[in-house]
Amino acid sequence: MLLALALFALGCWIAFDRWVAGDGAEWFGYGLGGVAWHGLGLLGFAWCVSRVAPPLLGWRAILLLVLVYLPWALSASVLLQHWLPEQLAPWCDAGLAVLGLLLLGVLLRRDVAGGVVRVLAVATLYLLAFGALSVVNGISASVWYPVDADAADADAAEPLEESNERLLYAQPARLEAALQQLAPRVAGRPNLFFVGFAGFGDQRVFAEEIRFAAQSIAQRYGSGTRTLTLVNDRRDQAERPLATVVALEQALQGVAQRMDLDQDVLFLVLSSHGSADPELAVSLGDLPLEQLDGEGLRRALDLAGIRWRVIVISACHAGAFIDDLKDPGTIVLTAAAASKTSFGCSDDRDLTYFGEAFFRDALPAAPSLRAAFEMTRRLIAVREQREGVSPSDPQAWFGVGMERRWQPFEAAAASEVRALARTRTPDDHARCARAAPAGSHPPSRACGR
């Protein structure tokens, strides 16, 4: 009977998971590991509860009650989450868990006499501990994953405008032309050079994030005429040099030739999908492109001889790059810890959660990069908690030498904001506040007050 009930519950879960994933969902066999984890959790729950029930009940009796309730709870959870707003999903599951505990107490009240409170206390503590452990480790029991409609549309779209051979052959000249357009450095003070890298070309969000990041850093620190972006974007392969590992190496070397390496700073922003190897996805259609790993990124920077650098990596598992990149002359800001995923990389967005929080909301209002990063961490934590997703836990490394080197840029940015504020009239401020990007935080800072 236990085996039959367990198989029925498993079948219900697979069917519900398939229904939620929608048409065209793909089977994800690795999710069976999460299913097995939750199965072990149910066995552990039954055993723990049976140990504290006076008189002692066999764990099979407790497991039987759980397996009878489980299909009903799964059905209710799926239906409620289908009809209610997404942010209420965690509360639905919590409510169903509480209901299950209450039903367990009612069914056991005669068998355990006065021990119902103790049974419910142990059951509650077990569920809280197991749930926390599952969330912290990012364990998912989903075995069906929805197909990204935008990615499917992109796959069905027209082929690349140029043949692969012509496109790759054109890259050296295109990169050299972009380098030639960089303005010469201004003598007598440290200069900032910006390089952006949008690695995954089948989703627009990464290209849009690099574009916005370049604008944000230019407005804050004055890098606008010394900006170079390498972008993989399926929508357009003719405008900018492609983001490839070789192009990044050559771009950094070209930028370094225009820098005073003792004074000037490189601000490098990379946006793509990532893995904990560490590795950033580099992709555009069916081009055979090399992936960018942590050692390769460090090697490209060292070969260029760029001494002072700020590196922002917006990707899942981006924290895994810190060990390869950290040194006294480097600041590294990442969207997620080495073992965590970040969010917001769907094709219908212009910025990821991290890019939105850092470049749009935090940086214009913060007095320093460190303060902007701490504000970003808080903004993302609140958003992820509200949406009920596993925390991405953005990470940072602040090299002591680079923090000192960066102070003139912060001072110049603050001075420019004050000077701009003195020249503006109240009408200017009102117009700027109305034109500020949606969600700028606060608008008055973006407008130079």
State residue 174's pLDDT score.
Answer: 93
Say which residue, 432 or 190, is predicted with more confidence.
190
Lowest mean pLDDT among 2-11, 23-32, 368-377: 23-32
The band of 191, judged by pLDDT with boundaries at 50, 70 and 90, is: very high
Q: What is the mean pLDDT of residues 5-30?
A: 76
State residue 31's pLDDT score.
Answer: 67
Lowest mean pLDDT among 83-92, 339-348, 371-380: 83-92
CA distance 290 to 5: 49
Answer whether 282's CB lies under 8 Å from 290's CB. Answer: yes
State residue 444's pLDDT score.
Answer: 36
State residue 342's pLDDT score.
Answer: 94
- Could you report the per-residue pLDDT of 255-274, keeping only the tens digit for each? 999 999 999 999 999 999 99
State residue 85's pLDDT score.
Answer: 67
C-alpha closest to that of 366 among 445, 419, 265: 445
- 173 Cβ contact partners less than 8 Å away, ≥ 6 residues apart: none
C-alpha closest to that of 344 among 316, 381, 376: 316
Amino acid at 312: V
CA distance 82 to 70: 18
Q: What is the mean pLDDT of residues 76-97?
A: 73
State residue 151's pLDDT score.
Answer: 45
Q: What is the mean pLDDT of residues 372-378?
A: 96
State residue 38's pLDDT score.
Answer: 86
Say which residue, 89 or 419, is predicted with more confidence.
89
Lowest mean pLDDT among 101-110, 144-153, 399-408: 144-153
The pTM of the whole model exceeds 0.75: no
Inform me whether the pLDDT recorded for 54 exceeds 70.
no
Say which residue, 13 or 180, is predicted with more confidence.
180
State residue 55's pLDDT score.
Answer: 62
Lowest mean pLDDT among 110-119, 213-222, 349-358, 381-390: 110-119
Question: HSE (CB half, 13 Å, CA atoms) of 383?
Answer: 17
SS3 of the chain: CHHHHHHHHHHHHHHHHHHHHCCCCEECCCHHHHHHHHHHHHHHHHHHHHHHCCCCCCHHHHHHHHHHHHHHHHHHHHHHHHHCCHHHHHHHHHHHHHHHHHHHHHHHCCCCHHHHHHHHHHHHHHHHHHHHHHHHCCCCCCCEECCCHHHHHHHHCCCCCCCHHHHHHCHHHHHHHHHHCCCCCCCCCCCEEEEEEECECCCHHHHHHHHHHHHHHHHHHCCHHHEEEEECCCCCCCCCCCCCHHHHHHHHHHHHHCCCCCCCEEEEEEECCEECCCEECCECCCCCCCCEEHHHHHHHHHHHCCCEEEEEEECCCHHHHHHHHCCCCEEEEECCCCCCCCCCCCCCCCCCHHHHHHHHHHCCCCCCHHHHHHHHHHHHHHHHHHHCCCCCCCCEEECHHHHHHHHHHHHHHHHHHHHHHHHCCHHHHHHHHHHCCCCCCCHHHHCCC
State residue 441's pLDDT score.
Answer: 39
The mean of the pLDDT values for the chain is: 83
What separation in angstroms does the CA of 60 have from each of 44, 47, 64, 112, 215? 11, 8, 6, 16, 63
State residue 358's pLDDT score.
Answer: 97
Domains, the chain, ordered by start = 2-145 (no CATH), 149-446 (3.40.50.1460)
